Structure 1
Amino acid sequence: MSDKHDINTYEKLALGASFFLEESFKYLDSALKNEFASMLFSKSLESLEPSKEDEKIFENLILPETPIKLLQSEIPEVISENTTKIMSDAWDDAQIRAEKERYKFELDHQIDSIEILGHLNNFGFFIETIINRHLLFLNQSKIIDDFSYSRISMSRIMERIVYIFKDDLNANKIQLNEIQNLFRLRNKTVHFTPDNAKVLKPRISELNKIWNQCSKLIEKLEKKENFNELNFSKQIIYYSLKIQKKWNSKVEQ
């Protein structure tokens, strides 16, 4: 079954893994930048006083009481044109400042920016691609037969991971709790229900633990494969340290 896959398959999977990993941290950087911009924007509005024109609009403003009615209605003017321009300019300025200035988030900061979807999805895709490639390696190395390979490769991602690391798990040499958390979080992005949309706010410390555990487990796979290539376990460390040095008050090793 695996004879149809040659070196090109391994190269394509490696390229895919590299793409997903790099994209995941691009989205995370964007998420933190937007959160910093929002903080700068909110602070710049603290000194903004409503004009007499704004006060007059507020006095006559009547908005629908429910979310559905609000979404279905034509929203009236809620602030004056002048105030709208001031706020628009303030947001543009906040985005420019967020690009140039630096801010250090605490490790317990919860990431609420919508770009966190891109990080969790792509990092999950990265791990899944690495696991799929290792399963192909096990099959072509005659460690697992074609029948087992066909069944395992179609199973859920955590089942694939548990199968690969079953000996280490039985010997209590590794833990999969953070990887389980990764795919729990990714499932919330895949099934972006109203409840999931509300609660999906991972902490920076939570992501750090996921990256560290994933790096250690991938390193174990790399030692078995012994491929002459750039190690993905080291790439995780590189990208995670880069994002932590830029945005975190403390860098977790």
Structure 2
Amino acid sequence: MNNKHDIDTYSKLALGASFYLEESFRCIYESLEYEFAAILFSQLLENIEPSVEDRKIFAKTSLPNDAIGLLQSEIPDILSEPTTKMMSDAWKNAQLRSKTENHKFGLDHKIDSIEILGHLNNFGFFIETIINRHLLFLNQSGKIDDFSYSRFSVAKVMERIIYIFKEDLKNNTIHLNEVQNLFRLRNKTVHYTPDNAKVLKPRISELIKIWTQCAKLIGKLEIQENFNEESFSERILYHSLRLQKKWN
């Protein structure tokens, strides 16, 4: 039995899990606020008419039409100072409104903001930390031996999850398809290739399914552990419902 970890280890793992969970949802809230701000900004831009000076500047401006050319060029000011200020003020206004107003994106909305990287990474870290703590609990409560613990504590996270829930999977009382999808998505953030950067746009409905399944799995662990602490599964559902209330 693993005796080198005491109550401090459990406390640090719980604090780590809490940090990752809150950071993950902070990122998703910021993602949707940014995307709503972009919608508001585009509406405000419709009321800004380019001036004669703007048209003259734009007519004289010649920019490369390829990505590398644009990246290597010094982009000149293509709008007059008054128009630039109006656009800047419009963007600030849109950002402020996005924090206080609600918007119904719909369940099929694909999240394209860069903050989605933070959500997927941190939520994956959260699940992994909870799983690591439960493995320690199983070892210290005599449910798995030291050899099995040393083996599974360094295995891939999905192998750890499958091991923990092997009886539930055998009895078909749980499913892991959404958890697998979470780590498939997180893998795209870890390996942020040009192709992954282009396709990584999870739907809101996809994320809700992941949160719901993860909450169910963690709820099962919480029943086994019976720790006197705030429920992580309930916190997931709280954030999920809060997000749906504001954005769906």
Give the TM-score band, short-chain normalised: over 0.9
Q: Which amino acid aligns with 1:36?
A: F
1:245 alignment partner AA:
K
- Give the corresponding residue for 1:153: 153
What code does the residue aligned with 1:114 have?
I
In the superposition, the TM-score normalised over structure 2's length comes to 0.96
What is the CA–CA distance in structure 2 between the aligned matches of 1:76 and 1:11, rounded to whole Å? 54
Pick which of 121-130 and 80-89 moved more: 80-89
1:198, distance to aligned residue in structure 2 (A) = 1.0
Q: Distance in 2 between matches of 1:17 and 1:66?
A: 44
Distance in 1, Cα, partners of 2:210 & 2:187: 15
Q: Percent identity?
A: 71
- SS of the equivalent of 1:4 reads coil
CA offset at residue 65 of structure 1? 2.6
TM-superposed deviation, 1:48: 2.2
Give me the whole-angstrom Cα distance separating, in 2, the residues matched to 1:239 and 1:97: 21
Counterpart CA distance in 1 for 2:245 and 2:53 is: 46
Distance between the aligned counterparts of 2:119 and 2:69, measured in 1? Answer: 34
How much has 1:143 moved relative to structure 2? 1.6
Give the secondary-structure state (helix, strand or coil) at the position aligned to 2:237: helix
For 2:121, the equivalent position in structure 1 comes to 121
**Structure 1 partner of 2:39:** 39
Q: Which amino acid in the other structure matches residue 95 of structure 1? A: Q
Q: Hey, what does 1:137 align to over in structure 2?
A: 137
TM-score, normalisation: structure 1: 0.94
Instruction: Return the offset for 1:12.
Output: 0.8
Give, in whole Å, the separation in 2 of the partners of 1:145 and 1:212.
31
How is 1:11-160 mapped onto 2 (pairs within 5 angstroms)? Answer: 11-160=11-160
Q: Which runs of 4+ in 1 moved over 6 A?
A: none
Q: CA RMSD in A?
A: 1.2
3-state SS, counterpart of residue 84 of structure 2: helix
CA–CA distance in 2 between the matches of 1:227 and 1:55?
Answer: 67
User: What is the Cα deviation at residue 70 of structure 1?
Assistant: 1.2
**Distance (whole Å) between structure 2 residues aligned to residue 187 and residue 105 of structure 1:** 26
Deviations 1:174-222 (A, max 9, x none): 1100001111111111111111111111111111100100011111111
Q: Which moved more, 1:115-124 or 1:58-67?
A: 58-67
Partner of 2:234: 234
Residues 14-35 of structure 1 show CA distances to partners (whole Å, capped at 9, x for unaligned) of 1111111111111111111111
Alpha-carbon distance, 1:146 to partner: 1.2
- 2: CA distance between counterparts of 1:74 and 1:98? 32
2:5 paired residue number: 5
Once the 2 structures are TM-superposed, how far is the Cα of residue 47 of structure 1 from its aligned partner?
2.7
Task: Report the counterpart of residue 251 of structure 1 in structure 2.
Answer: none
Q: C-alpha distance in 2, partners of 1:228/1:166?
A: 26
Instruction: Report what 2:218 is aligned to.
Output: 218
SS at match of 1:230: coil
Deviations 1:143-200 (A, max 9, x none): 2111211111111111111111111112211110000111111111111111111111
User: In structure 1, how many angstroms separate the alpha carbons of the residues matched to 2:15 and 2:200?
Assistant: 29
CA offset at residue 139 of structure 1? 0.9
Aligned to 2:202: 202
The 1-side partners of 2:66 and 2:212 are apart by 44
Structure 1 segments unaligned to the other structure (5+ residues): 249-253
Separation (CA, whole Å) in 2 of partners of 1:244 and 1:17: 23
- CA shift, 1:37, in A, is 0.6
Q: Report the Cα offset of residue 122 of structure 1.
A: 1.0
Amino acid at match of 2:79: I
Unaligned runs of 5+ in 2: none
My pick for the range that moved more, 55-64 or 122-131, is 55-64
